[in-house]
Amino acid sequence: MSVAIKANRLTPYMFLAPAGIILIFALLYPIGYMIYASFLDWSPSQRIGQAEFIGFRNYVNLWGDEAFRESFWVTIRFAAIVVTLEMFLGVGLALLLDRNIKGMAVLRTVFILPMMIAPIVVGLMWRYMYHPTVGIFNRTLKSFGFEGIPWLSDSTWSFIAIVIADVWQWTPFIFILALAAMQSLPRSALEAAEIDGASEWQKIILIKLPLMMPVLIVTLLLRLIDAFKVLEVILVLTNGGPGLSTEILALRIFRTAQEFQELGEAAAMSNLLLMMLMAITIGMFAYSRVQEARVARQRAAAEKDDD
């Protein structure tokens, strides 16, 4: 084999190399480091080589740690509630705004604005609005003669408060994806349904939603992954309180490392969170794989008995 041909074969790998190197240093190395650290009893004052190797003890401790279990459930509850609400609102808005009315383009842009604001800023904005005396919610309530609501100081209300903030910020994400899916639906199938006698409502339930389902499922999984990782808004709004009522996992990890100085235990928690997200991601890929396989099978069947 001549040198030229060899060089030719290597070309694609050379182009891939920079990305590969970045991937190794910025992703694989830290993950490896984190996995290793999760087996250590390690405080920030020690170098990693000085830390004591304790095997799975960090993980065993987590299992027995009531605070961790609590924040695990808060995370699950938070993710389930916000994603469900966002799906209903986002898809509903898309159904409502999928029409050609003057000014609709402006309205659509306005609807996706919240998504473009940095999470820290969103947190600060909502903290001012939730403020017990000067916040707009309580001022409005009081001006109508109602009691103010302890938005961030009551454990139930503070959970509701972070749910509202998250729904406000992330409903647009589902809205734009649902709208895009809706606009790529086959027009003629909807017209056929109209002639077949379907009402607007029946068109949505029987034609639009089933046809959008593949996109909606992927959207849901993407949002779920994101909801499990949420941190900044809650950090700014409640810092996990009152008590542990809004302490989601990411926040717990942050505090374990920062406040309690338990780097090994924080690494073990991160690892668990990572594995959970990995499971969802794999589920997502498996779903699209199954979809693709089904389409391929259908096509093969169609070609076989083409007349």
Nearest to 176 by CA among 85, 114, 102, 94: 94
CA–CA dist 166, 226 (Å, integer): 11
Using CB under 8 A, which of 5, 26, 116, 195 touches other proteins? 195
**Which residue reads 């909502």 in tokens?**
126
Among 189, 278, 279, 293, binds other proteins (CB under 8 A): 189
Least distance from other proteins to the Cβ atom of residue 108, Å: 23
| The only residue of 91, 162, 207, 266 in contact with other proteins, by rule CB under 8 A | 207
What is the Cα–Cα distance from 122 to 253, expressed in whole angstroms? Answer: 22
Nearer to other proteins, 147 or 303 (CB): 303
Binding piece for other proteins, criterion CB under 8 A, among 35-43, 73-81, 183-191, 256-264: 183-191
217 lines the binding site for other proteins (CB under 8 A): no
Out of 77, 196, 279, 285, the only residue in the binding site for other proteins (CB under 8 A) is 196
For residues 76-99, one letter each, b for 16 or more C-beta atoms within 10 angstroms of the residue's C-beta and e for the rest, the string is: eebbebbbebbbebbbebbbebee
* By CB under 8 A, residue 303 contacts other proteins: yes
Helix (H) or strand (E) holding 53: strand 52-53
Report residue 12: phi and psi, to 5°.
-60, -35
- The Cα 18–Cα 145 span in angstroms is 64
- What tokens does 215 get? 């996109």
Choosing from 89, 124, 164, 198, the residue that interacts with other proteins (CB under 8 A) is 198
- Specify the stretch interacting with other proteins by CB under 8 A; choose among 9-17, 134-142, 184-192, 227-235: 184-192
Does 306 bind other proteins (CB under 8 A)? Our answer is yes
Binding stretches for other proteins (CB under 8 A):
186, 188-189, 191-198, 202, 206-207, 210-211, 213, 295, 298-299, 301-303, 305-307
